[in-house]
Structure formats: structure tokens, C-alpha cells
Chain A
Amino acid sequence: MISLIRIFCPLLFITMISYTSQGQGLTLYKGISTVSKNLSIRIGSTPDSIHLNRYLGDDIGQLLGYWEAGTYRNGLPNATNLMVWHLGFDSFITHLLTTCAGHTLEFLDPQYREFLFSFCKWPSPEVRNAEVLEKFWIQHMAYDAPYSEFLSWKALFLSETYQTTYAPDALRDMWFAIFINPHFLLKK
């Protein structure tokens, strides 16, 4: 099955570009360090346990926004660096998905590991319900995005499209839809 989110990607990119083109269009990426730190705080075992650079390489990570000598560099979203984000998240998600194959990922918070493992049962009603999806959303996005963003995301994964989707595919799409969300990636 072609993952739905891959079809959505161009749309998400357009959303992000239009998000950044408000006013003078200077909304920038938070940068790979900040995004890694946010993920570490939210799902990691320690506040610095997740380094997205690991999935890209240090030099590539610099294409996604970083501070150097008082100047913020490479933070402006464009088609190329969005693809780099996509590649980084793709590898990261693949790594996370090994949980469903029984691997224990030490860099993840133990409670989160357990929570994640329960999602391997998707589309079981045990996890495919509004309450658990809200928990999943907050776990990753925290309160970076307005409620309307959550509602759209939830509606998608409670829709028929994901009624019978194989768990790793559903999880991959759920993560992508959060990680590529402008509220997750961009400074405000």
C-alpha cells in the first residue's frame, strides 16, 4: 500500500512554504539541535539522548538551521532541506519501528517504549481511539501546535483510510504527519 503521507508530502511542503511566506516570509526552521532536543525531552531517556544528526551526518544536519558565531544559518525552508528533514525522519522512524520487531531502544524513555509497543497492535481499538491518539500527539508535539492541528490529524487516523492499515505503516504516517508539521519544525 502506498503510504498516504507520501502523497501528502507535497501538500505539507506547500503548507510550510505558505506558512513561511506570511509577511516577509522569514519564518525559519528551529534547527536540528532544537528539534533533537525537543524529541529527547518528549520521548528520550535523557534530555540529550536523541540526535537526529546520527541519521544524517553532522554536515548534512547543518543544512537544517544552526547557530554559528552569533548568526543563524541555513534556516530558511526550501524544497531541498525539506527533503533532508524527510530523509532524517525516515531513518529515525525506521529505527523507532524496530520496537514492533521486539527491539529495546535504550535511548527512549521506558514509559514511552511501553506506550509505543502498544501501538504495534494498530488498528486494534485499544490504541485506535481518540483518547490514545491525543496522548500520542501530546507525547510528540507537546503543545507546540494549536488544537485545530490535532483535530485534523486525529480525524485522518480515525478515518476509514487507516481502519485496516498495517501497524508500521500507520505509525510511520502518524509520525511523519507530526514531524513535518510546521509547528513542529518552524520557529514562531
Chain B
Amino acid sequence: MRFSRAVCAVFAILFTLSCTDNKELHQQLSKNSTNDLTAPAPVEPRTFADNWEKQIWMNKVAQDLRYGIGLCRRDPLPELLKMNSLEIVDYFLKDPLFAETVLDFNMYFLGFKVDQLRVKETRAGFTDIYYAPQVFDTPSAVASAQEILKDGNYLKLLEYQQPLYMRPLWRVYPDEKGNPRTRQQVFSQMDSALAKAIQLGEEATPDKIKICEFADQMFNGYYEVGFHNLLINQITQSENNYIYDYFKYCFGRNFPLANFIDSMKKQAALMPKIWELIQILEPDAYPNRTVADIKSVDPEILIGKPTSMTMFRNNFWRNFQNSSTNMNRKRGAYILKQFFCDDLTPIDIVIPENHTGGRHGDEPSCYACHYKLDPMSGFFRYKGDKGRSFKDSSYILFDDRADRDSQSYFAHWKAPANSGREWNVGYVRSLQFPENNVYGDDLPDLFRLIQTAPEVKACLVKKMFRYFVSENQNVDRGYLQFLSEEFIEGAKQNSSLALKQTIRRIVHSNAYSQNDAVDTQCYDYRPGENPAGKPPCKVSYLLEKHCASCHQGDSAAKGLDLTKWIKIETAWTFPHKKLDGTQETPKETFRKISERLATANQNLRMPLKRFISPQDQEQIYLWIEEVRRAQ
């Protein structure tokens, strides 16, 4: 009976499901991938009750690893059904579409995930499918996904310097009345507008309005040609260029015309090179079918001097604008949230008694975040309006168009005289144990830290689990720690293979194959771990890691055993003996734990005189409070 069902299903899927069958592309890209998919540690293959169950799992894996493309006609279903689950996963990991999944995941990790990676655009009757503009604005996601195709350095995702990727250009350029123009016509108009603006500027009595009218035509030409992505980056990456000087002269008050003329002449000299670049980005010459197709261009051609581009592009500077009073905190919070998985939940448990100093950030309820947020924000302190650097400038201009004297602004991050460092800029893990903190100066320093901090790779793995399983699924911290350790170890050899191994584990996890998972439940634990009789999985591993050395067994400090979980009448609690040997009430037990976690007195605060990461501390504290609220 089951056999006939399976056979029927095989035929049904062979004859019915359809998907893009680009064998040539598949073969070409598979050839580039020198996958050595040997797992550094064994993953146990899954067993299935029947072929239907196996196909449910296979379809889900296919969808997840091929960016939404489930089992389809090009898949050799009978062969797949004969394979074990590990072989099946490897089959999908080798598919070039896996790079699309990686690109999508990377954008999710960086906080820029979009609804669709590729969008259809119709312009003057021509329809093309392009990667979404946000993709070109997230270069580290693209670079890292391209590396996956050749089993290269996946962790390019965490690098500061990134290529400048450009989308194919438009095919046609309608004028104001909708009549199509060629790209060359648009370009010639830009050229002559620029020449006219220079000519007007050099007249004996220059007319600013007219100069700006022509300069504006040149500026708009960038948009028309489809270079707006580059245009914005040109503003952020370079201080002396046409676009920036155009703004300063035409919208400012005191910018000298002579300087603007100089910029315009430099720009005119660049135009032939720009035209060369445009030919490369011609849509017919630049197919945009896969991640591998996405091209980078040399920014020097457009900016006119050797330029290295960073990972932060227009979407970042636009979404995380900085005002004269925000002190880059939005940007700092972004880094903590996306790279360190620290949501800055304001819990008042890190407040040293001697650190309050009267400012907003020093108020106890604020300081709970600001002690780590402000030093992180300091990495961005040189960045002003649209991300432009004001490091060597006497003033700094903000996105709200306010400006300030740069030295007094930067001084907000000056470290105390006896600290042994110049700036109070860095990743602060603890105020009590400063030896765990890492300090630096500017954004390259931040990314050196991001590349080495174990919290970042743990965050990457945590988000991987959420991406493939569910955003809301509870997961045992010990299991996540196990996945992270394996990833970190594997990434030392080859980060692409390490990523694939982590994914292999995740799709083999119990949580992944639940049909109707209960999101408060944990389904997976680190190897050898038996959760029976232990506290809830949300904190069990953390309590064991940070508290068990004192609070375990019969001789547990203060009679409190944090490694066991027992039921007293209707409530669950820890074994907690009072002096007379009787069990403490759950309410009292949790009240005391909460108090000892939150006290400012370092002689009482738990874990006693030991370092605990902010993320772990936060998780334990929030869970305790959750239990207390439910009591």
C-alpha cells in the first residue's frame, strides 16, 4: 500500500511540478564549486516513516536551500528517494541556487532582507528582471554569497572593505514626454550640460542660477543613466568630487565658484572613462541571472582617485541617520543588534554604583544600555551627513543639517586620563571585568573586532537557526553553543564548508522537521545532553555554565541547586532549602534570585565576582522575571 503510494507520488511529482530547468547554467556553476562536503563531525542521517514523510522533508530542504524552489522536474526524484538524508542535503547544497539562499540569509543577518531578491521592472515597454536595488546596496552579502559558489571565504560577510557592485543599466531612457532616447543621447546631454556650466562659470559676471541649472542637468543625468547607486556612494566616499561640490555651491552659501569650476573640469575629464564603464554595464552584455553574474566595477573610474568602498552604503546611511544629538547611537545599536545579537533590552543589572554622573546616559535605567551602546557608537563618530568622513575637518555636518565643531564633538568619546587608551570606543562586555572589553578607534577597528569576536559568529549561527527553522522557535542555548563552536572551528579551515556543515546540522535537527512545532519548546540539545529533570531549556545551559560550580547538588551554596527543576504542588522551581532544611516557596526563591542578579553591590551580585556576557546575563534575568510575573 505504502509502496504504491510512493510510486504514485514519484510519478505525480515527475509529471506535475515544474521549475526553471536551466541545466547548462546548473552544470556551469556546479563545475565552479569544488565542494568537499566531508563533514568535520558526523551528523546522523534521519530516518523516515515512509516516502511521503521523506518527500515532505526533502521538499522543505529544497525550498530552504534553493531560495524557494522546492522539488521539481529537474530533480532526479527516484534517485533522491534512494539517498540518505545527508546525501540529499549535499545534493541541494551543490545547487547553484544555494547561493541565492545564502544571499538572502546574508541580507537577513545584516538586517536588510527584502521580500524578493529579484524584481521585474518595466520601462518604456522593456521588461527586465534585476536583483533588487537593496542587493547592490549590501555588498558584503553579495561578496560572501559569491564566495560560497567556489567554497571560498564566506566570512567576507564580515569584512569592512567591499567591492562596488552595479546593476545592469536601463535599456531605454524616456524623455519628459515619454519618448525613448538612447543612452548615448542622455550621455551627450550630460556632457554638454557640464561644458555649458563650466563656460558660464568662467564668464566675467557668472550667473549662479544658470550655472546651477546646467549643473543640475548633469546631476540628473546620473539618475537617468541608472548610476544613482554610484552617485550616492560617490558622495559618501569622497570629499572632493563633483556631486558634493555641486551641493555645496548650488545649495550652500559660501562655497567658492572657482572650486566648483575645478570640480566640474575634473568631472569632464572623467566622462570618457565613465562612458567605457557604461558599456560594461549594458544589459545585453551583463546578464543578471544568478549571484555569480553580479559584477563589481572599479570605483576609481567614477570618483577619479583610488578609492576603497566599505560595506556601508546608501541604505545604511539612509536608515541610520545621525543627528547632532543622537551621537551615532542608532548606528551603534544596529551593530550590536545585527552582529552581536544584542537587542539592548534595558535591564538594570550592570549598573555600578560609582558610574552615575548626571547625564542621560548615566541615569540608572538608561545606563543599562548606554554603557555598551555609547562606546560602540563611537566607532562611527567621524561619520557625518550621509556617512561622509569628517575626521580631518574642523566641523562635522549631520544628517539633520546641523553642524558642530568636530573636536568638541569627538571629545564625547575621550577616554579618562588614566585609562591607558585615547578613546572610549569599543565593544564593552563588562564594566566589572574590563579586561574582557575590546577598544579601538574607527570603523576598520570595529570590523577587525567583528571578525574575531566569538559573539559575532555565535550570532551568525543563532540567526541561521532562526532563518531555517523559525524566528520564534525556542532553542536550547547549549545546542546553539555546540553549533557555534563547530562553526568557529570549521571556519578556521574553510568558512564556506563550515557554513554548509552548520546548515546540514540545522536541517537535521528535530526542530526543523516538526510539522507543528510548539515555539516555547526546545527540540534539540548538545550531544550527550539529557534535559530530563533540568530547568527549562531557555536557561538550563546558561545556569549550568555560570552558576553550577557553586549551586549544584546537596552542598549547593545557600541550599539552592540551579541544575535541577522540581514541582512543588502546582509550581515549578529549583530545589532551594531553607536553614531548617525545608523547601523555600517558589515565589521567594525567584524573588531572591532576581534580587541577587540585579543588585549593584558587587559582593552580592551573581555570578559572584565572575564574568558573564551581557547576552547571557540578559537571558537569565529576563527568564527569571518572566517566571515571577507568571507566579
Contacts and interface: CB of A to CB of B under 8 A. Distances in A.
B56 interface: yes
Interface in B1-59: 8-9, 12-13, 15-20, 50, 52-53, 55-56, 58-59
Interface stretch (B475-483, B515-523, B525-533, B550-558): B515-523
A37 B68 contact: yes
B518 A23 contact: yes
Contact of A67 (B19, B69, B114): B114
Contacts of B8: 131, 134
B112 interface: yes
A45 B18 CA distance: 8
Interface stretch (A93-101, A107-115, A158-166, A169-177): A107-115
A46 interface: yes
A126 B440 CA distance: 74
Nearest to B134: A69
Interface residues of B, number: 48
A143 B55 contact: yes
A12 to B, nearest CB: 16
Contact of B20 (A22, A28, A43, A46): A46
A42 B17 contact: yes
A43 to B, nearest CB: 8
B52 A147 contact: yes
A138 B518 contact: no
A26 B110 CA distance: 23
B116 A33 contact: yes
Contacts of B56: 143-146
- How would you classify the secondary structure of chain B's contact residues: helix, strand, loop or mixed? loop
Q: Considering residues B15, B17, B60, which has the most beta carbons from chain A within 10 angstroms of its beta carbon?
A: B17
B9 A44 contact: no
Interface string B117-155: 000100000000100000000000000000000000000
B405 interface: no
Contact of A111 (B15, B319, B517): B15
B71 A23 contact: no
A138 B77 CA distance: 14
A68 B16 contact: no
B18 A44 contact: yes
Interface string A88-130: 0000000000000000000001011001000000000000000
B472 interface: yes
Given A22-B519, A70-B110, A187-B470, A139 B16 contact: yes
A142 B107 contact: no
A68 B516 contact: no
Contacts of B16: 42, 111-112, 115, 135, 138-139
Nearest to B337: A70
Given A34-B68, A142-B70, A142-B71, A112 B18 contact: yes
B520 A138 contact: no
Contacts of B20: 46-47
A33 B115 contact: yes
Given A70-B113, A188-B470, A188-B515, A47 B19 contact: yes
B18 A48 contact: no
A46 B118 CA distance: 14
A66 B56 CA distance: 25
A142 B68 contact: no
A51 to B, nearest CB: 9
A8 interface: no
B28 to A, nearest CB: 19
Contacts of A144: 56, 59-60
B514 interface: yes
B520 A24 contact: yes
Q: Considering residues B53, B111, B115, B471, which has the most beta carbons from chain A within 10 angstroms of its beta carbon?
A: B115
A15 B342 CA distance: 36
Interface string A55-70: 0000000000011111
Interface in B61-76: 68-72
B108 interface: yes
Q: Considering residues A42, A43, A70, which has the most beta carbons from chain B within 10 angstroms of its beta carbon?
A: A70
Contacts of A33: 115-116
A38 B8 CA distance: 22
B113 A41 contact: no
A70 B108 contact: yes
A19 interface: yes
Contacts of A77: none
A187 B517 CA distance: 11
A31 interface: yes
B519 A24 contact: yes
Contacts of B110: 70
Contacts of A44: 18
Given A22-B519, A41-B17, A188-B517, 6 more contacts: A26-B472, A26-B519, A69-B315, A135-B12, A142-B13, A143-B71
28 contacts: A19-B516, A23-B472, A23-B474, A24-B520, A27-B470, A27-B519, A33-B116, A41-B19, A44-B18, A48-B120, A48-B129, A67-B113, A69-B111, A69-B315, A70-B107, A70-B110, A70-B113, A112-B18, A135-B16, A139-B12, A142-B13, A142-B70, A142-B71, A144-B56, A146-B53, A147-B50, A147-B52, A188-B514
Interface of B: 8-9, 12-13, 15-20, 50, 52-53, 55-56, 58-60, 68-72, 107-108, 110-116, 120, 129, 315, 319, 470-472, 474, 514-521
**Closest 8 pairs (CB-CB, A-B):** A23-B519, A70-B111, A143-B59, A26-B472, A143-B56, A23-B520, A139-B16, A23-B518
